[in-house]
Structure 1
Amino acid sequence: MKTTDTINLLLMAGVLAGMIVINGCKQQAAPDGPGTSKPNPEVGVVIMATEQVTLTMELSGRISPQMVAEVRPQVGGIIQKRLFTEGSEVKAGEALYQIDPATYQAALASAKATLAKAEANGFTLRQKTERYKQLVAISAVSRQEYDDATAGLKQAEADIEAGKAAVETARINLAYTRITAPIAGKIGRSTVTPGALVIANQATALATIQQLDPIYVDVTQSSADLLRLKRNLASGELKGNDPGQATVKLLLEDGSPYPLEGTLKFSEVTVDQGTGSVTLRALFPNPNQLLLPGMFVRGLVQEGVREQVMLVPQRGVSRDPAGNAIALVASENDVVERRMLKTERTVGDAWLVTEGLKAGERVIVEGLQRVRPGATVKVVPFETKAVAPGSQPAAKQP
């Protein structure tokens, strides 16, 4: 009997222990039971509103000088001196090179002597003609002799005019031995040194002068984009800018913005057959000569003004497997809804949305990974969303 009692006691103790364990587990699992609820996930939203947006085009282009002049000799000879410093600013008319003038000085002296000879001969013939004019009146000389004297005088006068022209030509050639700057600007390197032989109108320029302030920026736009722009302007979707007032901004080769704005001057009237593009030219101030000819830049050209459109931050727009743009919206009841959007283009860090949203709707831009359509959320404005202790605020898209 004692053995049986002992077994029964052990069995009862085991049952009691199992019941205690089960009750403990139930008590532990109680917080997750149906009687309790998790807090709704918190999301940051942006309230949509229609606005007027100035649209811009980002076009690639290059810098070109406003004026450029290649310095070439107009007479031949030996370079005696170089009278400028490479890379310096020169003024229009400033002397750049001196060609040996000896032969041109001699040519000028010879032309002056020839002119003096012609003038002396003309003086003699003029006096002779005057005398013959009086003598022919009294038949002291024949009419033929008078006519010959008159013809000789006219020839002498022609020789005098030719002599004057020869003197002027010799004087011009002598002046050309001093090569001057045709325009004001910055002069580049010299291709010749003193002692070099140059010839008139040679193919190789002695130096190049460029005007850098102000300076041109030539950007290219595809003809397809130009047609689209004209259609939008014609339909009234875009309000056009006055071409004389359209402003242009620049991004330099390293991505940094150029601090000064330019003005769009004109659009080329023909399309490049090789590239299918049209050239737009803008004029920029360049007081510090940061912009140099040949530099690659990107121009932000004002395209027009779009009325009553909505901009959705790019971080709030995703793509489905078919490539369609979608966004999650918090309804009036704070329930997440999925919207299909029609996006036209990017404007800064936002998408320009033409369909799929209404003014006043709340687009979720933060906390997207924690919610799904149909879920109830806690809505907080994105700009003023609280940051939990020890965490960092979400970085905004540039």
Structure 2
Amino acid sequence: MYKGAASALSLFLAIAVLAGCGSSSETKGGRGAGGREGGTPEVGFVVVQPTAVAMTTELAGRTVPHAVSEVRPQVSGVIQKRLFTEGSFVHAGQTLYQIDPSLYRASAAQAEANVSAAQANAEAARTLANRYKPLAQMQAVSQQEYTNAAAQARQTAAAVEQQKAALQTAKINLNFTRVPAPISGRIGRSAVTVGALVTANQADPLATIQQLDPIYVDIQQSTAQLLALRRSLARGDVMPAKAAIHLKLEDGSDYELAGTIEFAEVVVDPNTGTVTLRASFPNPKGVLLPGMFVRAVFAQAIDTRAFLVPQEAVSRDPQGNATVMVVGPKNRAIQKTVKTERTQGPFWVVTEGLNPGDKIITQGLNKVRANQPVHAVPASTPQKIDPNRPAPGGRHGGRRG
């Protein structure tokens, strides 16, 4: 019995020694293979430098026709014909309505006859004056008679010019019976039908033509934004930009063609406190219609001291402030609070909080805490694998054991 107890004790001590050796070996192996992962995490960083970034602004706007013309009659009469299709495109000079020309044609004919009569009278008076001239020199007729004949000749000549002017007026009125399109554009519905009586001084137009290609977009910008931009330009913080302007339509889609800023108003609307900027856009397909609400996106200035930081490097603290992790002195992770203006593609535009040459941690952020030592490598560096580290399944990274 004593021998059995001794044998059991010896077996227990052997198992304990083996377990201790195994635990020690595993501990040493874990530190050797995973010491960097457990103690000093490896992170990837990018170096940021200030760059020129456009200061993009998004403002509300409304489309306005490039030109609007109301078609009005310049003579009175009855509409004989309507020579266009409502809603169609008409060209400048194209006849839209025909007013009954009968009375105006007769007036033109009468004026032409008056010109002929005046020319005949002028010819007779001129001949008489020419005949009296030598007779007056020979004193065969009195000087007064010659003077009266010469004056009569000049009066009849002036009467001819008056009748010619009346004839020209009659012809112009006759031409006005043909109502042309003042501009090229899209014509709306007709306010009159065939047989309607129109007058030269009527208040209502016959139709309205709108020129939609190109088309204007009136954009409203607050005076506060305008003053801030001007101060930044004066300080030299930003440079003026002449970039294209883009539109977002009411359904959220982007308008495919870019436009340009034409001018800015020099007065402020007292009701809204805004200044109107007018932009011009090509509209060959007629997508933009007058009165549409749109969002205009454009760059008014260029910030030459902004930083482009990958979006995955920026996070938020409990107060909602944007923060980044930077590789600081002695390879320690330092948290910095930054000011993010907006996104630009895959980057945040950071205007405050960073210095040129900062190493922004973009990879391995989930393993890093503030003031923690890190092993920093350039972003996307291939991971180094220790060949002596045991692989899954009990195999080593080289030969089989």
Shorter-chain TM range is 0.7 to 0.9
Q: Considering only aligned residues, what root-mean-square deviation do their CA atoms show, in Å? A: 3.5
Q: Which residue matches 1:329?
A: 325
Q: Is the 8 A contact 2:305 2:351 kept in 1?
A: no
The secondary structure found in structure 2 opposite 1:247 is: coil
Distance 1:347 1:326 in 2: 13
CA contact (8 A) 2:92 2:182 kept: yes
**Structure 1 residues 107-154: Cα deviation after superposition (integer angstroms, max 9, x where no partner):** 111211222221222122122212222322222222222222222222
Return the alpha-carbon distance in structure 2 between the equivalents of residues 354 and 214 of structure 1. 37
1:291 to 277, 280, 288: 288
Match of 1:309 in 2: 306
TM-aligned CA distance change 1:237 to 1:186, over 3 Å? same
> SS at the partner of 1:279?
strand
2:268 maps to 271
Corresponding residue for residue 247 of structure 1: 244
- Equivalents in 2 of 1:97, 1:44: separation in Å? 79
Residue pairs, 1:100-179, within 5 angstroms: 100-179=100-179
SS at match of 2:245: strand
Contact 1:264 1:283 in 2 (8 A): yes
- Asked whether the 8 Å contact 1:66–1:216 carries over to 2, the reply is yes
Determine the structure 2 residue equivalent to 1:49.
48
Q: Pick closer, same or farther for the CA change 1:330–1:161 going to 2, 3 Å.
A: closer
Q: Distance in 2 between matches of 1:124 and 1:267?
A: 67
**Structure 1's 328 and 122: CA in aligned 2 closer, same or farther, altered over 3 A?**
closer
1:50-129 alignment runs, 5 A limit:
50=49, 51-129=51-129
Deviation at 1:328, TM superposition (A): 5.0
Percent of aligned positions that are identical: 48
Aligned pairs, number: 347
- What does the per-residue CA deviation read over 1:39-78, in whole Å, with 9 as the maximum and x for residues that have no partner? 87x9998746233312211111112222222211111111
Summarize the Cα distance change of 1:251–1:363 in structure 2 as closer, same or farther, 3 Å threshold.
Answer: farther
- Mean alpha-carbon deviation: is it higher for 214-223 or for 332-341? 332-341
| Pairs within 5 Å for 1:19-38 | none
- Please tell me whether the aligned partners of residues 43 and 364 of structure 1 are also in contact (alpha carbons under 8 angstroms): no
Q: Secondary structure at the match of 1:216?
A: strand
Using the alignment, how far apart are the partners of 2:42 and 2:283 within structure 1?
Answer: 48
1:362 partner amino acid: I
Give the whole-Å Cα distance in 2 for the aligned partners of 1:43 and 1:74.
85
Note if contact 2:326-2:335 (Cα within 8 Å) is conserved in structure 1: no
For residue 173 of structure 1, report the CA deviation from its aligned partner. 0.3
- Cα deviation, residue 277, structure 1: 1.9
Q: 1:294 to 1:380 in 2, by over 3 A?
A: farther
Cα distance in 2 for partners of 1:204, 1:334 equals: 80
Secondary structure in 2 matching 1:211: strand
Amino acid at match of 2:215: I
Q: Is the 8 A contact 2:82 2:97 kept in 1?
A: yes
Shift of 1:228: 1.4
What secondary structure, in the 3-state scheme, does the structure 2 residue paired with 1:163 have? helix
5+ residue gaps, structure 2, are 1-26, 382-401
- Taking structure 2 as the reference length, the TM-score comes to 0.75
Structure 1 distance, partners of 2:322, 2:108, is 86
- Name the CA distance, whole Å, in 2 between partners of 1:201 and 1:293: 28
Taking the TM superposition and a 5 Å limit, the aligned residue runs for 1:165-244 are: 165-241=165-241, 243=242
CA contact under 8 A between 1:317 and 1:326: conserved in structure 2? yes
**For 1:159 and 1:67, how far apart are their aligned partners in 2?**
44
Normalising by structure 1, what TM-score?
0.75
- Whether the 8 Å CA contact 1:313–1:365 is kept in 2: the answer is no
Query: Quick check: 1:366–1:382 contact (8 Å CA) kept in 2?
Result: no
Flag structure 1 segments of 5+ consecutive residues without an equivalent. Answer: 1-33, 385-398
Q: Is contact 1:328-1:336 (8 Å) kept?
A: no
Cα-to-partner distance string for 1:253-293 (whole Å, 9 max, x where unaligned): 11111111112222223322332222222222222121122
Residue deviations 1:160-186 (CA, integer Å, cap 9, x gap): 111000000000000000011112222
Deviations 1:310-333 (A, max 9, x none): 244667342544x6x142527579
Aligned residue identity for 2:186: K
Q: Distance in 1 between matches of 2:168 and 2:230?
A: 58
In the TM superposition, residue 309 of structure 1 has moved relative to its aligned partner by: 1.8
